[in-house]
Amino acid sequence: MSAVAANYNLLQDLGVEVISMSVDSQFVHKVWNDNELSKMAGHDVPFHMASDGAGRVGTMYGVYNEDAGVEFRGRFIIDPDGVIQGMEVLTPPVGRKLEETIRQIQAFQHVRATKGAEVCPAGWEPGKKVLKPGPDLVGNVWKVWSPLTDH
């Protein structure tokens, strides 16, 4: 979570709100912010640090491990209509990469801005080639997009 806190401005630039969630109480969140996260990020955690003590929210999102009583690293991208566009769930020992979350948000925002007229192929980043789905493109993606040079 320190990576998200430290680079929060990148998410703000995209108009994104962040909510973090664990089974710890809001009081422990405060102490974690005060004693560790703020030192790693260089500033206080700028987003809501929510508490899911009984794992109810985690259960709804399929990321609560009842046996361990903790939540997996579940990351959900929710669009302005409240629809989940992307999710990534990792077991505890490996962290996420914020750049990948940002890339996916940028891609979903591009698709939304074009009302689905343009879609983002594998490895897409802003500025890279988009595809325009339609009858002419069927069977012809190989002519306009290469996994070797455009990926």
Partner 1 sequence: MADQPVGCAHPIGATVGTDPAETNEQQTTKQKEKKMSLARVGAKAPDFEAPAYYKGGFTSVKLSDFPGKWVVLCFYPGDFTFV
Q: Which residues bind partner 1 (CB under 8 A)?
A: 1, 4, 11, 14-33, 36, 44-54, 56-63, 70-80, 82-87, 92-96, 101, 105, 109
Q: Looking at beta carbons only, is 20 or 118 nearer to partner 1?
A: 20
Residue placing its CB nearer to partner 1 in the complex, 48 or 132: 48
Q: Count Cα atoms within 13 angstroms, Cβ side, for 36.
A: 7
> Among residues 49 and 145, whose Cβ is nearest to partner 1?
49
Amino acid at 118: E
* Residue among 40 and 117 whose Cβ is closer to partner 1: 40
Let me know: does 55 contact 64? Beta carbons within 8 Å: yes
CA–CA separation, 138 and 122 (whole Å)? 17
Residue 124 makes CB contacts below 8 A (sequence gap 6+) with 103, 107, 130
Find the shortest distance in angstroms from Cβ 40 to partner 1: 12
Q: How far is the CB of 139 from partner 1 (least distance, A)?
A: 26
- In whole angstroms, the minimum distance from the beta carbon of 6 to partner 1 comes to 14
Q: 74 or 121: whose CB is closer to partner 1?
A: 74
Least Å distance between CB 44 and partner 1?
Answer: 7
User: Residue 89 CB, nearest distance to partner 1 (Å)?
Assistant: 8
Scanning the structure block, which residue is given the tokens 């809001």?
26
Q: By three-state DSSP, how is residue 5 classified?
A: helix
Distance between the two ends of the chain, CA-based, in angstroms?
Answer: 29
